[in-house]
């Protein structure tokens, strides 16, 4: 149900925004029929699972413009949805009804970089890969990396508190983001773009925006601590006999590679098989293995790292922890090995749709859920190789180093019967293990009804109080989060 407290957009509103933003490219609208196709990409999400009905997209180029837009929307009860690269996986970045999309893509400037402290200050709309390439030239690295780096924006990353492939090494954005510039719905600019590692002067309000998913304000700039880029990087890819072997490999990697270990990712054999089926990509190892791991090391001394990695490899082969493995010999091979992990999310969409569950679970129990879900779907005859079965398979992969499982159920079509088998079953399973129903993707619209499986009534009440305090009219990304 569209909330009737929100005003319907009128020609007069559109004219106001056009006059304010001036530039043609800053406003996309579908009041005139020929513009309706242009607005389509802003109305549908990366998974093509959600479709909104926005008639207006605004692309401010400055914080001042964001402030004026939000103040006008708040005064006129016009609902809005902040949008970055629109790569989010919980339907948070697209409108549900006719909310105005405020897209940050024109706010794309690096503001400053301090080579001594490693602190980067940049507009929220800078693409993650652009930021990382800029930092590479300065021998630094963005402390976050993920498969959507070519499209997602650093503001979107902060708004979702994205985890990704480097969290094991560099920690979460809650620690790395040092300052935030954001605009509240009433137009107030929060200028907290500090470049300090330490600042114990009261509540750390920026933390509310990290993972706030655009529900209390729009992030327009961030300052972030960026580590030195490691000159020696190695990537290895292993085949393993069982999930127990994967756990042993993780322990061995922590033990023996210790400070140079920068990623430890897990993919089950079914994931890799489907990647191959969907993309035709040849897998790095001969034969099939029930599990695969990808390990990355990053350090400052090539000889030292190579020796450590060599010893580790010898050890895990001798002790039969891993069955087979390959180490990348150059940059191209590193990219090849990484693509076996980074390409998974997109490949699994090949059959038509994917039910995605992004979960934090105790590592030891993590994979049992994938088996249980597959058994459950198989028992009721929903899984099969041909078109008469909606489900292709149930697979598991993820950031094993962070105890973060991605349970994916690729389907030929979204199907109520499949959904009924999966939900709330998966959420109840996770709750029993004291896990989290959203490890890194956020709540958006997908997880909103299920927050109670991971948060107590008291916590939810406090969250609602925060929402009401910052956004009393409720115009910011309505129908989502809580």
82/410 with CB nearer ligand FAD: 82
Q: Of these partners, ligand FAD, ligand 2HG, none, which one is at the site of residue 356 (CB under 5 to 8 Å by kind)?
A: ligand 2HG
| 245 alpha-carbon distance from chain centroid | 28
Report angle CA 96, 99, 101 to the nearest 5 degrees.
105
| Residue 155 binding ligand FAD, by CB under 6 A | yes
Report how many residues bind ligand FAD under the rule CB under 6 A. Answer: 38
Q: Return the range that interacts with ligand FAD (CB under 6 A); candidates 19-27, 82-90, 257-265, 387-395.
A: 82-90
Q: Of these partners, ligand 2HG, ligand FAD, none, which one is at the site of residue 156 (CB under 5 to 8 Å by kind)?
A: ligand FAD
Residue 214's SS3 state is coil
Contact present, 163 and 172 (Cβ < 8 Å): yes
- Which uninterrupted H or E stretch holds 189? strand 189-192
Q: Of these partners, ligand FAD, ligand 2HG, none, which one is at the site of residue 353 (CB under 5 to 8 Å by kind)?
A: none
Q: Of these partners, ligand FAD, ligand 2HG, none, which one is at the site of residue 401 (CB under 5 to 8 Å by kind)?
A: none
Give the position of tokens 């389907």: 411
Q: Contact with ligand 2HG (CB under 6 A): which of 345, 438, 454, 477?
A: 345
d(CA 98, CA 464): 23
| Residue 157 binding ligand FAD, by CB under 6 A | yes
The count of residues in the chain is 482
Report how many residues bind ligand 2HG under the rule CB under 6 A. Answer: 8
d(CA 351, CA 380): 20
Q: Is the Cα dihedral 270, 44, 342, 367 positive or negative? A: negative
Q: Of these partners, ligand FAD, ligand 2HG, none, which one is at the site of residue 235 (CB under 5 to 8 Å by kind)?
A: none
Q: Of these partners, ligand FAD, ligand 2HG, none, which one is at the site of residue 93 (CB under 5 to 8 Å by kind)?
A: ligand FAD
d(CA 47, CA 87): 8
Q: Contact with ligand FAD (CB under 6 A): which of 96, 148, 253, 275?
A: 148
Q: Contact with ligand 2HG (CB under 6 A): which of 74, 83, 153, 408?
A: 408
Report angle CA 373, 376, 378 to the nearest 5 degrees.
105
| Residue 356 binding ligand 2HG, by CB under 6 A | yes
Residue 44 pairs in a beta bridge with 51
166/308 with CB nearer ligand FAD: 166
User: β-pairing, 395-399 with 100-103?
Assistant: unpaired
321/437 with CB nearer ligand FAD: 437
Q: Contact with ligand 2HG (CB under 6 A): which of 308, 406, 447, 467?
A: 406
* Residues contacting 397, CB < 8 A, separation 6+: 265, 266, 267, 268, 271, 341, 344, 405, 406, 408
With CA atoms as reference, report the closest residue to 46 among 156, 148, 158: 148
Q: Contact with ligand FAD (CB under 6 A): which of 81, 173, 340, 363?
A: 81
Binding track, positions 338-357, relative to ligand FAD; x by CB under 6 A:
-------xx-----------
* Cβ 113 to ligand FAD shortest distance, Å: 20
Contact present, 349 and 388 (Cβ < 8 Å): no
66/167 with CB nearer ligand 2HG: 167
Q: Return the range that interacts with ligand FAD (CB under 6 A); candidates 150-158, 261-269, 282-290, 459-467.
A: 150-158
* Cβ 145 to ligand 2HG shortest distance, Å: 10
Residue 429, classified by CB atoms within 10 Å of its CB into exposed (0-12), middle (13-18) or buried (19+), is buried
The strands making up 110-114's β-sheet, listed across from edge to edge, are 110-114, 119-123, 218-225, 177-183, 189-192
Q: Of these partners, ligand FAD, ligand 2HG, none, which one is at the site of residue 406 (CB under 5 to 8 Å by kind)?
A: ligand 2HG
| Residue 179 binding ligand FAD, by CB under 6 A | no
CB atoms within 10 A of CB 385: 8
| Residue 85 binding ligand 2HG, by CB under 6 A | no
3-state helix, strand, coil in the chain (%, to 5): 40, 20, 40
Contact present, 300 and 423 (Cβ < 8 Å): no
Q: Which of residues 220-279 bind ligand FAD (CB under 6 A)?
A: none
d(CA 170, CA 142): 9
3-state SS, one letter per residue, for 72-98: HHHHCCCCEEEECCCCCCCCCCCCCCC
Q: Return the range that interacts with ligand FAD (CB under 6 A); candidates 81-89, 191-199, 228-236, 282-290.
A: 81-89
Binding track, positions 85-124, relative to ligand FAD; x by CB under 6 A:
xxxxx--xx----------x-------------------x
164/284 with CB nearer ligand FAD: 164
Which residues sit at the interface with ligand 2HG, rule CB under 6 A?
A: 89, 147, 344-345, 356, 358, 406, 408
Give the binding site for ligand FAD (CB under 6 A): 46, 81-89, 92-93, 104, 124, 146-148, 152-153, 155-157, 159-160, 162-165, 213-214, 218-219, 345-346, 440-441, 444, 477
């Amino acid at each position: 149900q569209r909330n009737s407290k929100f005003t319907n957009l009128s020609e007069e509103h559109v004219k106001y925004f056009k006059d304010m933003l001036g530039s043609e490219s800053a406003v996309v609208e579908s009041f005139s029929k020929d513009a309706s196709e242009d607005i389509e990409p802003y109305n549908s999400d990366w998974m093509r699972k959600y479709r909104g009905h926005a008639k207006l997209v605004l692309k401010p180029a400055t914080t001042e413009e964001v402030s004026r837009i939000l103040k006008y929307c708040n005064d006129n009860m016009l609902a809005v949805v902040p949008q970055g690269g629109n790569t989010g996986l919980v339907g948070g970045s697209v409108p549900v009804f006719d909310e105005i999309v405020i897209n940050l893509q024109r706010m794309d400037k690096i503001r400053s970089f301090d080579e001594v402290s490693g602190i980067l200050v940049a507009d929220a709309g800078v693409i993650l890969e652009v930021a990382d390439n800029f930092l590479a030239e300065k021998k630094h690295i963005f402390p976050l990396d993920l498969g959507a780096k070519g499209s997602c924006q650093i503001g979107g990353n902060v708004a979702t508190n994205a985890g990704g492939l480097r969290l094991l090494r560099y920690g979460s954005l809650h620690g790395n983001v040092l300052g935030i510039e954001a605009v509240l719905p009433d137009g107030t600019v929060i200028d907290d773009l500090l470049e300090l590692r330490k600042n114990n002067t009261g509540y750390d309000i920026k933390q509310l925006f990290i993972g706030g998913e655009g529900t209390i304000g729009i992030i327009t700039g961030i300052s972030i601590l960026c580590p030195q880029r490691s000159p020696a990087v190695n990537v290895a890819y292993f085949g393993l006999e069982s999930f127990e072997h994967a756990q042993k490999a993780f322990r061995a990697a922590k033990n023996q590679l210790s400070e140079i270990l920068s990623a430890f990712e897990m993919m089950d054999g079914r994931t890799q098989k489907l990647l191959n089926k969907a993309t035709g990509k040849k897998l790095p190892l001969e034969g099939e293995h029930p599990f695969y791991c990808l390990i990355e090391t990053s350090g400052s001394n090539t000889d030292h790292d190579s020796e450590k990695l060599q010893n580790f490899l010898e050890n895990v082969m001798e002790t039969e922890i891993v069955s087979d493995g390959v180490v990348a010999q150059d940059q191209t091979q590193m990219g090849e090995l990484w693509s076996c992990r980074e390409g998974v999310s997109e490949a699994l969409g090949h059959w038509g749709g994917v039910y995605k569950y992004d979960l934090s679970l105790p590592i030891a129990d993590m994979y049992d859920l994938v088996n249980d879900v597959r058994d459950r779907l198989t028992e009721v005859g929903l899984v099969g190789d041909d078109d008469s079965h909606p489900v292709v398979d149930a697979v598991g992969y993820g950031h094993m180093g962070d105890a973060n499982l991605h349970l994916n159920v690729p389907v030929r079509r979204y199907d109520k019967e499949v959904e009924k088998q999966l939900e709330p079953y998966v959420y109840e399973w996770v709750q029993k293990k004291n896990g989290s129903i959203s490890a890194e993707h956020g709540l958006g619209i997908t997880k909103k009804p299920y927050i109670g499986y991971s948060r107590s009534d008291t916590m939810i009440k406090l969250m609602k109080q925060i929402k009401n305090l910052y956004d009393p009219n409720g115009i910011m990304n309505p129908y989502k989060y809580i």
